[in-house]
Amino acid sequence: MRAQKGVALVSVLSIVLVLAVLLSTLVGVSHAVWAMGDRERQFAHCSACATGVAQSMLKVLEAGEGLQAATSLQFDPVTVDTRTTVEDGLTLVKVEAKIGDVTDTISFTYDTIAHRLRAWQDNGPGIVE
């Protein structure tokens, strides 16, 4: 009789142990998937902010107005830094959006003499090292 109770106890404990391992694995995988999704949302947010600021700056240049040499804007939680350089009738603009260690950089060149966009480069999302 005692042997049967011992076997039953070992069986129940084995089942509980297997369930605990399965549940902890499920929690770990869910956490990893959530973290990857969060990173993708940060990438998308950085890209949207950088693109919006760059397009706004392009509209200012198309209107014939000038830009500040450097600015830093805060769109919680995104920090957007811009740098503008003017050389030989070309305005070179770099827009970098950051959330933590995730960044997106957009650069463009505007010809102030011909009044047209010469180049547009979206470097895509990256990770600050």
What residue type is 97 in one-letter code? A
The parent domain of residue 108 ranges over: 2-127
In terms of Cα–Cα distance, which of 22, 65, 27, 49 is closest to 106? 49
- The Cβ-side half-sphere exposure at 64, using a 13 Å CA radius, reads 0
| pLDDT surpasses 70 at 104 | yes
Total domain count, the chain? 1
Of the listed ranges 51-60, 75-84, 116-125, the one predicted with least confidence: 116-125
| pLDDT surpasses 90 at 87 | yes
| pLDDT surpasses 70 at 125 | no
Q: Which residues contact 72 (CB under 8 A, 6 or more apart)?
A: 79, 80, 81, 82
